[in-house]
Amino acid sequence: MLGESDLSKNAVIDFNKLNIVPFVSVDNMMKLVLKVGVETFLTELAGYIEEDFRRWESFDKTPRVASHSREGVIELMPTSDGTLYGFKYVNGHPKNTHEGLQTVTAFGVLADVDSGYPTLLTEMTILTALRTAATSAVAAKYLAPQNAKTMALIGNGAQSEFQALAFKAILGVDELRLYDIDPSATDKVIRNLEGSGFKITKCKSVEEAVVGAQIVTTVTADKLNATILTDNLVGSGIHINAIGGDCPGKTELHRDILLRSDVFVEYPPQTRIEGEIQQMPEDFPVKELWQVITGEIEGRNDDRQITLFDSVGFATEDFSALRYVRDKLTGSGLYEELDMLADPDEPRDLYGMLLRAEQKQKNS
């Protein structure tokens, strides 16, 4: 394995030229995040995500390829900027929690378009939680009320701490109002965020949680059309970060909230299938986040405006995360070298490579 002594700390490794496919395991991903620092990791990752939104038009875009079952969904999320190709495999199975399993698991691949060779294979369960939180904070940077410091977190599952830390690192949010139908989930968040610089209030209802909040994040897991947030709870000037409605038949907001809000999305063809706006007619007006980031359209323009980021997650965000991890591997040693690329002496003689392996076995 290459280490810091082998390469300049400032140079990005070209794994393709080294004929290496680095694999980042869950263990090494955790070590990488802790080495960088969680809030620094989120802030730097947000920079990559914002950079790629600014060059939105250079990407291939398609709604994710989904295979739905009664219990959940398995999806592939591909994209390319013409130089690199990336995809993520991800599932969403809410029932898993009751069986001691993760609701979401994922892995991703980054590849060189010129050769077609993979250049990175990595776990993306932890990385997806980080990129989802970073994307939420990037959107809020443009859509939330100025100097917003208080956020309600409705749904206190696996994504909650990441959301809280991303909003703290990027927007300066330092007060949390928490609610979950399972009080033990809220206790878990309070315990995990102890010493992180938050004032935290454990609330007994959604109504109590949203009182005084300038940002409301809804992130529940059940795969059904639910009304987590009702219209009467949404006051003027609030920003809603709706990330739980992420597959067909799964929503969290009453449709009247959407009628009162300026709704911002990542990629409309996907969000109309999977987001909160699946409740609305096909011609329901939405605005695209990339256009806000590039300055083509306005984001928040009024103190009384209700902004809603209807986020379902899009492939470019995973692409950004894969790029970021690839760049952070330089000098880290936090990867394994996978023997994934056949390398015969002569490119057309793949069978000869097999025969030579046979002979080697016989001679050993």
Predicted local confidence at residue 111, as pLDDT: 96
The two tokens of residue 11 are 């140079």
Would you name the residues annotated as active-site residues?
246
Q: For the domain 133-314, what is the CATH code?
A: 3.40.50.720
Render each residue's pLDDT in the chain as its tens digit; 364 residues.
333 333 333 455 565 555 679 999 999 999 999 999 999 999 999 999 999 999 999 999 999 998 989 888 899 999 999 999 999 999 988 888 889 998 889 999 999 999 999 999 999 999 999 999 999 999 999 999 999 999 999 999 999 999 999 999 999 999 999 999 999 999 999 999 999 999 999 999 999 999 999 999 999 876 666 888 999 999 999 999 999 877 788 899 999 999 999 999 999 999 999 899 999 999 999 999 999 999 999 999 999 999 999 999 999 999 999 999 999 998 899 999 998 888 888 989 999 999 999 999 999 8
Q: Are domains 21-126+317-341 and 133-314 of this chain identical in fold? A: no
**Ordered strands of the 239-242 beta sheet:** 199-202, 175-179, 150-154, 215-218, 239-242, 307-310, 262-265, 287-288
The residue whose two tokens read 């955790």 is: 30
Predicted local confidence at residue 223, as pLDDT: 62
Give Cα 168 distance to the centre of its chain: 17
Per-domain boundaries in the chain? 21-126+317-341, 133-314
CA 114-329-138 angle, 5° bins: 85
For 97-100, which contacts have Cβ atoms below 8 Å and span 24 or more sequence positions? 97/157, 97/221
CATH number 3.50.50.60 given to 21-126+317-341: no
Closest CA to 207 of 182, 189, 232: 232
Q: What is the pTM of this model?
A: 0.91
